[in-house]
A and B are shown apart, each in its own frame.
Chain A
Amino acid sequence: KAGVTQTPRYLIKTRGQQVTLSCSPISGHRSVSWYQQTPGQGLQFLFEYFSETQRNKGNFPGRFSGRQFSNSRSEMNVSTLELGDSALYLCASSLEPSKEELFFGEGSRLTVL
């Protein structure tokens, strides 16, 4: 079956703009979580969604938001982009939030100029 699909794979934005990233989980998976990965900070948890509800949220400012749709697809949005937002944004899905195995997409690489 198809894996986790993230779009777009690469994008370039300028400071002050906003960006929306999309994630389609594996069919049947209802839990989606988002992570930011940078060389300096490693992989950091952003938020987790299940049944269209945010279950957990990491320590990121309010400029970072997300949502999940009834078909389990998820989007995350970053407003008022800053240079430090340049990162690889990873989406992961699992059957349920308590399932141990996360399946990651290949990520969306955001560059903020």
Chain B
Amino acid sequence: DAKTTQPTSMDCAEGRAANLPCNHSTISGNEYVYWYRQIHSQGPQYIIHGLKNNETNEMASLIITEDRKSSTLILPHATLRDTAVYYCISLRAGGTSYGKLTFGQGTILTVHP
């Protein structure tokens, strides 16, 4: 699975969009980009995933560049409850590798009033 790099920390004002970048320059064609987040003292929470196309769900949007070397997670209207560590992972879905989620250090997003 490709290595991902993320900024260590980011700040965002409540109500504004939070844009969290992730670099995955060695991603291969069959690897998806997944985003999870972990709020303090809780287990990680799945947010969204994508392969090539941009994706949107009730929590966030995922924008993947055309060359798939980077992506951005967008929380359109951040709230204080979105303060968490956000993890970007590239993973080949299915097969024997699935389940071996390896989280890096992630980005600590702090949403302030």
Residues of B within 8 A of A44 (CB): 102
Q: Closest CB of chain B to A7's CB: distance in Å?
A: 14
Contact between A102 and B94, CB atoms less than 8 A apart: no
Complex Cα gap A43–B41 (Å): 14
Considering only residues 77-111 of chain A, those with a C-beta below 8 Å from chain B are: 90, 92, 97-98, 100-107
Q: Closest CB of chain A to B37's CB: distance in Å?
A: 11
How many chain A residues sit at the interface, stated as a range, is 20 to 34
A43 and B99 contact, Cβ closer than 8 Å, known pairs A90-B43, A100-B32: no
Contact between B46 and A45, CB atoms less than 8 A apart: no
A100 and B49 contact, Cβ closer than 8 Å, known pairs A92-B43, A106-B43, A107-B43: yes
B95 CB–A CB distance under 8 Å: yes
Contact between A31 and B43, CB atoms less than 8 A apart: no
Residues of A within 8 A of B99 (CB): 31, 33, 45, 48, 55-56, 97
Residues of B within 8 A of A4 (CB): 43
Q: B105 — nearest CB in chain A belongs to which residue?
A: A42
User: Count the B residues whose beta carbon is within 8 Å of the partner chain — how many?
Assistant: 23
A97 and B43 contact, Cβ closer than 8 Å, known pairs A42-B103, A42-B105, A43-B103: no
Q: Closest CB of chain A to B33's CB: distance in Å?
A: 11
A29-42 contact mask (Cβ, 8 Å, vs B): 1 or 0: 00101010000001
Complex Cα gap A105–B99 (Å): 15
Residues of A within 8 A of B43 (CB): 4, 90, 92, 104-107
Pick from B44, B46, B94: contact of A98, CB below 8 A. Answer: B94
Q: Closest CB of chain A to B6's CB: distance in Å?
A: 12
Residues of A within 8 A of B45 (CB): 104
What is A's interface to B at a CB cutoff of 8 Å? Answer: 4, 31, 33, 35, 42-45, 48, 55-56, 58, 90, 92, 97-98, 100-107
What is B's interface to A at a CB cutoff of 8 Å? Answer: 32, 34, 36, 41-46, 49, 93-105
